[in-house]
Amino acid sequence: MLAVEKSRPEERTKALVAWLTQEVQAAGAKGTVFGLSGGVDAAVVGALCKKACGGETLGLILPCFSSPEEVEDAQFVAEELSLPYRLIDLDDLYLLTAGRLSGEEVNGDEREPAFYNIKPRLRMIALYHWAARLNYLVVGTSNRSERAIGYFTKYGDGGVDLLPLGNLVKTEVRALARCLGIPEKIINKPPSAGLWEGQTDEGQLGLTYEDLDRYLLTGEGKPEVIERLREMEEKTAHKRRMPPMPQI
C-alpha cells in the first residue's frame, strides 16, 4: 500500500475547511450543494462542507438507474454526518432525454459514452438548479486520480464551482476520510461512478487506484501501466482546460 504521511490529514482538513469557507464568502454565496453518491469522495466532501458551512449544506442523492444499495449508502452517509439532503430520482428524466435525443428505445443500462454520460449531466443540472435556488456553490467530488486521466464526464461531474479534492489522489482521500470519521464500510467499498448496474471504476479503467496513485505521486510503475496512463492523460487533456479561443 502507498504510504500517506500520518500528520497530513488533520492539517489538510483544517486547510480545506478554511478554503471552502473563504471561497463561499468570496462568491457572496450562502452555502454549498454537492452530489451525495454514497462513495468515499462524496462523503469526504460532505463532511468538509458541513464543517465549513454548517446547516447551509445540501447533499443531493440523484439515482439514475442506480442500485438500491447506492441509495442506501448515500442515506447512511447523510445520517452519519447529519447532512441535510434531498433524494431526487432521475430515471424518468433519463429515459425521456436519452430516448428523445437518440430516437431509440432505451432502458437505462446503455454502455456507450453518448448514453451513459447523460446521467452525470442530468445530475449537474439538478445540482445547479438547487444552487441557483439557494444561492449555494456546487462542490465537486472528483479527486486528482480521476482528473489526471480524464475519468469524469465533461460538463457532468466535471461541471462544478469548487473542487476541494482536486489535488488529492484516491489514497490521500481515504486517509482524509478516516480523519473525518467516515465509516469504514464507505471507505472500503469499491469506487463506482454508478453508470450502470455493477459498474466499478477499476473495472472500467482496467487498473487499480493504487497503481494510478503510485504513478501520480512518484512517476513509478510497471512500464505497460505508465504507457497506458500517459496515453489517457494525453487523450483527455481537453477535459482539463478551458475551451481554446483564437488569438485574433
Q: What is the CATH number of the domain that holds 151?
A: 3.40.50.620
pLDDT of residue 6: 46
User: Rounded mean pLDDT of the chain?
Assistant: 93
Q: Is the pLDDT of residue 142 over 50?
A: yes
Q: Is residue 246 part of a domain?
A: no
In a domain, 148, yes or no: yes
Which pLDDT score, from 0 to 100, does residue 207 have? Answer: 83
Lowest mean pLDDT of 3-12, 15-24, 113-122, 169-178, name the range: 3-12
The whole-number pLDDT of residue 116 equals: 93
Is residue 86 in some structural domain? yes
Closest CA to 181 of 47, 71, 87: 47
227 belongs to a structural domain: yes
247 in any annotated domain: no
Instruction: Kindly provide the residue ranges of all beta strands, DSSP E only, lying in 100-227, ordered along the sequence.
Output: 136-138
CA atoms 242, 31, 87, 51: torsion sign: positive
Counting the structural domains of the chain, the total is 1
* Domain extent for 86: 8-240
pLDDT at 121 over 80: yes
Confidence of residue 51 (pLDDT cuts 50, 70, 90): very high
pLDDT of residue 4: 46
Q: Cβ(123)–Cβ(35) under 8 Å?
A: yes
Q: Tell me which residue of 122, 120, 91, 118 sits closest to 107, measured CA to CA.
A: 91
* 221 assigned to some structural domain: yes
Query: Mapping DSSP to helix (H, G, I), strand (E, B) and coil, where does residue 193 land?
Result: coil
Residue 245 lies in a domain: no
Residue 105 lies in a domain: yes
Place of cell 438500491: 68
Distance in angstroms (rounded) separating the CA atoms of residues 37 and 141: 10
